[in-house]
Structure 1
Amino acid sequence: MSAGTGRGDLFNPACPTRMLLDRIGTKWTSMAVKLLAEAGEGEIRFAELQRRMPGVSQKMLSTTLRSLTRDGLVARRVEPTVPPKVHYRLTALGHSLELRLAALRDWAEEHITEINQANAASTD
């Protein structure tokens, strides 16, 4: 562990893992990254992302994409039209995150029945 960085100590607020999980551990981040990954090297417009993410508000999607862009996971391109057309795509770093999120989705799908059963048993 590096002095003062919290590295390797998930319980320390300065731990890189904890800081990253706080930023990428939301359902909206996971959905946006998945949709952008499906575009490969292509781009998706804001309105298309919102249409394909049922339940996400314009503000939440905007906040999520701003955060992903700031973190270098998503690239943003604005067409100077009226109104402006905004396009998003995953960066190489974003694609590497999608590989990890896909593994988590696979695990969730494999174990959701057991988790639901445990939840049902705990409410009895």
Structure 2
Amino acid sequence: MTIVEIIKILSDTNRLRILNLLYGRELCVCELEYLLGISQSNLSKHLRLMSVLGFLESRRENKFAYYRINDVVLEEHPFLKTVFEIELKREDILMEELKKLGVYQKSELTCQNISALIQ
């Protein structure tokens, strides 16, 4: 993955929001949709782009698709650690979404419950 491709990925607010939640963890598409409040089609467009470029890895479990940041990308581009661990922490909306993620993780919601909520 080239630095130009990485910068293009990071230049979109929704992609930054997605990556902020995926940094250090794996989440299901329905969880991302729930946490970010964006449409499934918009979310899928961004996930597909980042996957095709190799920034994200995905796996399927039953009817659910899970995504995470490709560890190789983080290893090959160490500046990304600074972006995720320092720079993004300066953005209030991103910090609020991480708090929402923490509340979600402590709740009894599951992918099955969320799917029913967001439909």
Residues 9-68 of structure 1: CA distance to partner in whole angstroms, max 9, x if unpaired?
A: xxxxxxx655543332111111111111142xxx211000111113x2111110111111
3-state SS, counterpart of residue 52 of structure 1? helix
Residues 65-118 of structure 1: CA distance to partner in whole angstroms, max 9, x if unpaired?
A: 111111211101112x3xx21111111115753532443324556xxxxxxxxx
Larger % of helix: which? 2
Matched residues in 2 for 1:70 and 1:103: separation? Answer: 27
TM-score by length of 2: 0.59
Alignment partner, residue 34 of structure 2: 51
3-state SS, counterpart of residue 57 of structure 2? strand
Which amino acid is 1:35 matched to?
Answer: L
| Greater relative contact order (Cα < 8 A, sep 6+) | 2
TM-score by length of 1: 0.57
Moved more, 70-79 or 91-100: 91-100
Paired residues in the alignment total: 87
Does 1:87 pair with 2:57? Answer: no
Does 1:32 pair with 2:49? Answer: no
Distance 1:21 1:67, change over 3 A: same
Q: Percent identity, aligned pairs only? A: 20
Which ranges in structure 2 are unaligned for 5 or more consecutive residues? Answer: 93-119
1:1-124 aligned at under 5 Å gives the runs 20-39=6-25, 43-54=26-37, 56-79=38-61, 81=62, 84-92=63-71, 93-94=73-74, 96=78, 97-106=80-89
Which ranges in structure 1 are unaligned for 5 or more consecutive residues? Answer: 1-15, 110-124
